[in-house]
Structure 1
């Protein structure tokens, strides 16, 4: 298959707002694909993942384009694989020569696509849901079967290849595999604690911790730890590895949270927990990691709330009631605080306890719910005392007064669920500490794609958690809504842009709006 066909399909998908038209265009190409790299390219990443192509290196590459398309998808994929494998002395020159050769064989449109692919600007990562629908259409299989196989494998190109090669039977054969992370089940916002209890019936009410989501896998003595984005962090959390290695089982997959605690048992700032995963958000975090005494303080404590596998038995399709019983058998001393089937006053007491201990709120979960990997349904509902949204940073304005010379006022966007660019919904400069101002001036400046006089426009890849009083109808922004009294809570290095809240979630906060 010619690479030009991928480029043309990508352009057609970007040019339409119709989800159906996007699915049709993608499905038509998937039916003819010669390699899973087709799917990788269309969702905006090389099949090898991040290959280390520097942003400035790619943008500064000027090579006369080819007159006619001749590159194949397989050739592009092989070249990017070779690029990723280059290392050692003289690697910069060899990488530059390889890119120059690849770009010299590409047409102008193909060069533009490659630049955006390698710099993360081909913002089709949010097209994940559309791509899954396209795979189902192309293979003529039920969408739910495709989604389940993808959530268990975590790899969309391989899921597409299985669907096209073996149809529903091949997809149904995908199982939970100890050592391979499963996409996490997510919670939806609840309108109120009472409303969640009434909607879900028999349920458990658990603390919503101010920590980092983890998924741990153990097979014998081997333990692996993954973040919510399925990034492996085993080497950075030896205390968690040793704890899981000591549990009374041979194999287990646990879902939970981990966080650093103060001497009083309250959560330390989120940035400090994330620093253990190599995600430093401010200078203070970096300083703390250099101190031996503070390193001891940053030991992580795990709190598990689900068990997906135990000693050879997969539990994904078992009700939460059974999964919790398995969890208590294997990790009784590390279960997240909460109450099973409380009445409304009892649930309110759990919420009060969570807030008093410095946590975010509670999660209410149906005891009959199966583990819907990768889905944000109504079977789990989070209750927090304030509205927060995870939004994408689109740009940032230079500050004035004491903030002169610093990038200050953030431009915020919500994710388009149909795969378009993020939809701007507001701005804020509130809630930023001096450390965060310094951090975002340095880090956001490094991912700038345009530098107008007022500030910078950035690659839409950084997620920030925003607290707000609500939203209001507004013609100022393209989504028709604007945030009210928005302020920064923290940056979320544990999330990527594909996990940001959608414009539909923002609109659901309008007064009188109904939540599905």
Structure 2
């Protein structure tokens, strides 16, 4: 198969429905894994990230037969995906450091779909049939693997499983219609992500220069999302950054004269930048004026195009 963009889910509220299954929402780096003549790991932007995860490439290379899989890369700590650890793995380019982290902080690939088998495309099959093939072909190969695992799914009772997932420390679930076909690059109503916390992927369109210890970097980032082709300002975020992230983000700024937002905030001292960076933030809730209450930076999203960050994720 040619490189393929993953199918995407819409946001929704907890529900229970016959003909649907519900899976834990693993918030990591989405990855299409091609285990054919060689292993190729591609993120949502179709960038090759195989070199960053040698432990995954090794595990997938030992599979019998040729297949293309869809899943999430994450780093687990005490059974829960850990953002900081994943961010360190996901932004690493030094070969020596990558080799060390692959042993000291190993990643996991959680597989939830199969897109081809022995060079035959399966995307035209309903999800229930793809799941049957996935477990038939890979369950035995992966039963002793701690690196590559098949995701669990639960039928119909999405509301119950959502509450159980939250108690386990997982941020939510994804509901999938069993008859759904695989639609590459499409955000489909057949897949619904259900989360408790407000977690958003937003575009950086400017920054406020830092003061004190932050003088070399920035004090806050101005964030927005797209609506009908225009970048709409939503909020700014100034907390949650490590020293390494402050340095990394500052090094990516590309200044511009005019604001990229259709509704730029009247904030003094703002430096406008090209809207090329995507960051993930969490917040308590939306404010009455459409902003975010107590936003906190979580991580960079190099695997996501700015145009994918739309207002509809805010509900």
TM-score range, shorter chain: 0.7 to 0.9
Q: Structure 1 residue 258: deviation in Å? A: 1.5
Q: Structure 1 residue 443: deviation in Å? A: 3.0
1:457 and 2:268 correspond:
no
Distance in 2, Cα, partners of 1:307 & 1:230: 17
SS in structure 2 at match of 1:462: strand
1:440 and 2:257 correspond:
no
- Tell me the equivalent position of 2:48: 232
Q: Structure 1 residue 396: deviation in Å? A: 0.5
- Tell me the equivalent position of 1:98: none
Q: Structure 1 residue 436: deviation in Å? A: 2.9
1:20-169 equivalences under 5 Å are: none
Deviations 1:481-503 (A, max 9, x none): 33333222222122121221x13
Distance in 1, Cα, partners of 2:166 & 2:312: 30
- Tell me the equivalent position of 1:503: 311
Q: Structure 1 residue 254: deviation in Å? A: 0.5
1:310 and 2:117 correspond:
yes
Q: Structure 1 residue 412: deviation in Å? A: 0.8
Q: In structure 2, do the counterparts of structure 1 residues 253 and 395 end up closer, same or farther at CA, with 3 Å as the change threshold?
A: same
Q: In structure 2, do the counterparts of structure 1 residues 503 and 316 end up closer, same or farther at CA, with 3 Å as the change threshold?
A: same
Distance in 1, Cα, partners of 2:178 & 2:245: 40
Q: Structure 1 residue 292: deviation in Å? A: 6.6
Q: Which has the larger radius of gyration?
A: 1
Task: State whether residues 53 and 102 of structure 2, in contact with CA within 8 Å, keep that contact through their aligned partners in structure 1.
Answer: no
Q: In structure 2, do the counterparts of structure 1 residues 295 and 339 end up closer, same or farther at CA, with 3 Å as the change threshold?
A: closer
SS in structure 1 at match of 2:181: coil
Q: Structure 1 residue 181: deviation in Å? A: 1.6
- Tell me the equivalent position of 2:27: 210
Match of 2:193 among 382, 386, 397: 382
1:185 and 2:1 correspond:
no
Distance in 2, Cα, partners of 1:211 & 1:238: 17
Q: Structure 1 residue 405: deviation in Å? A: 4.3
Distance in 2, Cα, partners of 1:254 & 1:342: 24
Deviations 1:4-24 (A, max 9, x none): xxxxxxxxxxxxxxxxxxxxx
Deviations 1:167-207 (A, max 9, x none): xxxxxxxxxx2xx221111111112x2x3x24xx3222212
Task: State whether residues 350 and 362 of structure 1, in contact with CA within 8 Å, keep that contact through their aligned partners in structure 2.
Answer: no
- Tell me the equivalent position of 2:264: none
Task: State whether residues 204 and 338 of structure 1, in contact with CA within 8 Å, keep that contact through their aligned partners in structure 2.
Answer: no
Match of 2:237 among 422, 428, 433: 428
Distance in 1, Cα, partners of 2:256 & 2:236: 19
Q: In structure 2, do the counterparts of structure 1 residues 440 and 320 end up closer, same or farther at CA, with 3 Å as the change threshold?
A: same
Distance in 1, Cα, partners of 2:40 & 2:180: 26
Q: TM-score, normalized by length of structure 1?
A: 0.53
SS in structure 1 at match of 2:251: helix
Q: Structure 1 residue 299: deviation in Å? A: 2.7
Task: State whether residues 406 and 437 of structure 1, in contact with CA within 8 Å, keep that contact through their aligned partners in structure 2.
Answer: yes
Distance in 2, Cα, partners of 1:409 & 1:370: 42
Distance in 2, Cα, partners of 1:465 & 1:257: 16
Q: TM-score, normalized by length of structure 2?
A: 0.83
Q: Structure 1 residue 471: deviation in Å? A: 2.7
Match of 1:253 among 61, 68, 72: 68
Match of 2:129 among 322, 325, 331: 322
Task: State whether residues 407 and 440 of structure 1, in contact with CA within 8 Å, keep that contact through their aligned partners in structure 2.
Answer: no
Q: In structure 2, do the counterparts of structure 1 residues 189 and 336 end up closer, same or farther at CA, with 3 Å as the change threshold?
A: farther
1:419 and 2:229 correspond:
yes
SS in structure 2 at match of 1:240: helix
Q: Structure 1 residue 435: deviation in Å? A: 3.6
Unmatched tracts of structure 2, length 5 or more:
143-147, 260-267
More helix by share: 1
Q: Structure 1 residue 341: deviation in Å? A: 0.8
Q: In structure 2, do the counterparts of structure 1 residues 237 and 431 end up closer, same or farther at CA, with 3 Å as the change threshold?
A: closer
Deviations 1:418-473 (A, max 9, x none): 333x11122221333344333333333xx222499824211101001122233345
Task: State whether residues 395 and 412 of structure 1, in contact with CA within 8 Å, keep that contact through their aligned partners in structure 2.
Answer: yes
Q: In structure 2, do the counterparts of structure 1 residues 399 and 483 end up closer, same or farther at CA, with 3 Å as the change threshold?
A: same
Distance in 1, Cα, partners of 2:216 & 2:117: 55
Distance in 2, Cα, partners of 1:364 & 1:389: 19
- Tell me the equivalent position of 2:59: 243
Unmatched tracts of structure 1, length 5 or more:
1-176, 475-480, 509-516
More strand by share: 2
- Tell me the equivalent position of 1:25: none
Task: State whether residues 162 and 172 of structure 2, in contact with CA within 8 Å, keep that contact through their aligned partners in structure 1.
Answer: no
SS in structure 2 at match of 1:440: helix
